[in-house]
Structure 1
Amino acid sequence: MIDLHYWPTPNGKKVAIFLEETGTPYRLVPVNIQRGDQFKPEFLRINPNHRMPVIVDHAPSDGGAPLSVFESGAILFYLAEKTGQLWPQDQRRKYEVAQWVIWQMANQGPKLGEAGHFRRLGDREGDQSYALRRFGDEANRLYGVLNARLRDQRYLAGGSYSIADIISYPWTLGWKAQGQEIDEFKHVKRWFDEISARPAVQRGLAVGADLSTDTGKLPPEEQARIRKLLYNQRALPVPD
C-alpha cells in the first residue's frame, strides 16, 4: 500500500493522476498546508524540505521497512519503476522521458508558480511590475517550448503517454492565472484537451477536491495568516 501525503495543488495532483492511471492502491493522507501540517515533526521526518507530496511505500521491492520518497519528480520515477508503467526502460526512450520530467521540475513548475504568485500578490508588497513582466515572459517562453515540442509529437516524450505528460499537465491547468492564453499555443491546446479527457486524469484531479479552501472567500486576517505561513519562509531552527 502507498500512503500519499497530499494537498490539492499542481504538485500533489501529479502523483494522484499517476496512481489513478496505473490503478495502484493508495491511502490519502491530507497535509493541510494552510494549517501548517507540513511543519509537524512527523511530517519533517519524511520530508525535511517541508513540502508535499510525499509517498510512503509500505511494501518496497527490497522487502525492507517502509520507504518514503519526496519531490514529485522522484516520486514519479519511483512509482513508474515499481509498477513498470508509463516510463519505458529502453535507453533512448527512458532518457527522452527523464529529460522532460526534469525540465518540468527545473523550469515549468518553478517559473509558472512564480508567475501565478506575483499576479495574485497585486500591490500588497509594492510595485511588482518587473516581477510580473519577468515571470510572465518566462511563462510564455515555456509554453512556447511545449508548443514547439508538441508540434510534431503526440506526447512530450514521443508517441507514448508517460510520466513526462503526467508531471507537466497539472501546471498547465492554471494558464489563465499565469497570464497566458492557451489558444495561442495550438499544439499545447490539442495535448491539453486530449489529456484532460482521460478518465484517470479526471479522477486524479478530483482527489481531495473537498479539502481545498477558496482563500479569496476567507476574512482578510485569515488570508494574511495563510500568506505569512506559506510565503517568505526562512530556515527552520535545528535542535542542538
Structure 2
Amino acid sequence: MTRPGLLLRTERIGYAEAWDAQRRLAALRAAGEVPDVLWLLEHPPTFTAGRHGRREDLFLSDEALAGSGATFVRVDRGGQMTWHGPGQSVGYAICDLRPGRRVRAFVEAMVEAMREAAALPGAAAGDDAMGLYAGGRKLGSVGIRVAGGITTHGLALNRDPDLDWFRIMTACGAPGVEATSIAAEGGDPGRERVDAALADGLARRLGLRLEPAALDDLLGAPTPGGRGAAD
C-alpha cells in the first residue's frame, strides 16, 4: 500500500537556500499541508558539519577556504563533517515518521536506495548502516534530523565529483577512510540515471507514490537555483 508523495528536482542550489527551504517544507508537512517530499538536487562546493562535527576536521584555514571557492556551514543534522558539490546527487527527505515508522528502517531505506542507484557489484552498507561503501571506500552518506516526527536532510551519493575535496577533511569522523565515486569504480555516473534510480528506490522503500512538483509552487515564492517541475 502506498501513500501520496511529491518529487522535487533542482539543477543546483546553494546550501543555505536549500536548508531554509527544507525547514519551510518540514513545517508544511507537520501541519499536514503537503504529503511526504523527496527532493533531488546538487549543491555548489560546501563543507558541512553536523551536530557532532568539528571545524578542525576541515584542514583549511578560513582564508584558504575562502580562496577554494567552497563554503563551510554548521547544520542540525546528525553526523560529522562531509562535503557536497558538483558531481554528487543529494536527496533530501521531508517525511512524517509519526505513524510509527522507525528511524533505523528509514535510514536503511536510504542506504539501500543508494546501493541500487550506484549499480556497482559489491557496493554495501557500512557497519554503522549510515553509509555506502565499495571496496572499503566511501561512496555515499546518510545524515538526517528528526524533529516532531518530521525528517529533514538525507543522503549524498558520489557520481563523479572531484575527489580531492574529500582529501582535505576527515569525513564523517573516520580518519583514513578514502572517498570514491560511481565513476571511479567503473560505473555509469549519469545524473539522470542515478537520480531516477534514487527516486524509484526511495519511493518503493518508503511506500510513496510520487508525483512531480515544483519547489516554488509549494513555498509560494521563488527559490534561487530552482529548475521547476521534474521532467
* More strand as a share of residues: 2
* Higher Rg of the two aligned structures: 1
Q: Is this a same-fold pair by TM over 0.5?
A: no
Q: TM-score range by the shorter chain?
A: under 0.3
Q: Scaled by the length of structure 1, what TM-score is found? A: 0.26
